[in-house]
């Protein structure tokens, strides 16, 4: 994967997560396995899947420890986190995309 491809895919992931966060919904299990990528006419179509741990959070803190250990934010493990926990997971996904 080239850096340009990674940038495009990450922009699409961030757009999807921004949309759900604007509705106060956290995914809580973002990882490469939950991102579908399909190439259509030299463009990529991205889908974020597996919303089984997703939850409506509002402005409150959540306390349920969940998610995939390799991608979960430290505050989730501590059991006191906000909707921003998804951003840590996106950072981990970015690292995997760029380093393999």
Active site residue 59: no
Q: Provide CB contacts within 8 A for 85, sequence distance 6+.
A: 26, 28, 62, 67, 72, 73, 75, 76
The strand pairing partners of 81, in sequence order, are 62
Among 29, 50, 59, 86, which one carries the catalytic annotation?
29
Place of tokens 């402005």: 59
Q: Active-site residues: which are they?
A: 29
């Amino acid at each position: 994967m080239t850096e340009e491809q990674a940038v495009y895919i990450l922009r699409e992931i961030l757009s999807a997560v921004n949309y759900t966060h604007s509705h106060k919904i956290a995914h809580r299990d973002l990882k490469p396995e939950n991102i579908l990528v399909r190439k259509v006419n030299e463009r990529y179509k991205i889908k974020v899947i597996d919303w089984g741990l997703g939850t409506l959070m509002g402005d409150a803190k959540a306390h349920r420890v969940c998610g995939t250990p390799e991608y979960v934010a430290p505050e989730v493990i501590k059991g006191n986190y906000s909707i921003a926990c998804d951003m840590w997971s996106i950072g981990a996904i970015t690292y995997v995309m760029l380093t393999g």
